[in-house]
Structure 1
Amino acid sequence: MEFISLKSPERMEKLRALGKLQGTADALQEGIPAKTPASRFARPERPAGLDPRQVICLIDANKFYCACERVIDPSLRGKPLVVLTNNDGCVAALTPEAKALGIRRGMPAYQFRRLVEEGKVEWRSSNYELYGSVSKNIAAILSGMAVRIERYSIDENFVDITGIPGDPTALGRAMKERIYAWQRIPACVGIANTKTLAKLANHLAKDWPVFGGVINWLDLAPHRQEKAMSITPLKEVWGIGSRMGEALQALGIQTVLDFWKMDPLFIRARWGVVLERT
Structure 2
Amino acid sequence: MHNIIKKMFQHGTVTVDYPKKPIKSSYITGVPEFYYTKCKRCSKCINSCPTGAIALVDNDKQKEKSPAVNIDECIFCRFCEDACPNKAVLLSNKFELAQKSRAALRATPLLVQDDVVKDLDYELLGRQLKEKVKKFYGKSLNIREVDAGSCNGCDYELNALGSPYNDLERLGIQFVASPRHADMLMVTGCVTRNMEEALIKTYNATPSPKLVIAVGACACSGGIFKNSYAGRNGVDCVLPVDVYIPGCPPRPQALIYGILKAIGRL
TM-score, with structure 2 as normaliser: 0.25
More helix by share: 1
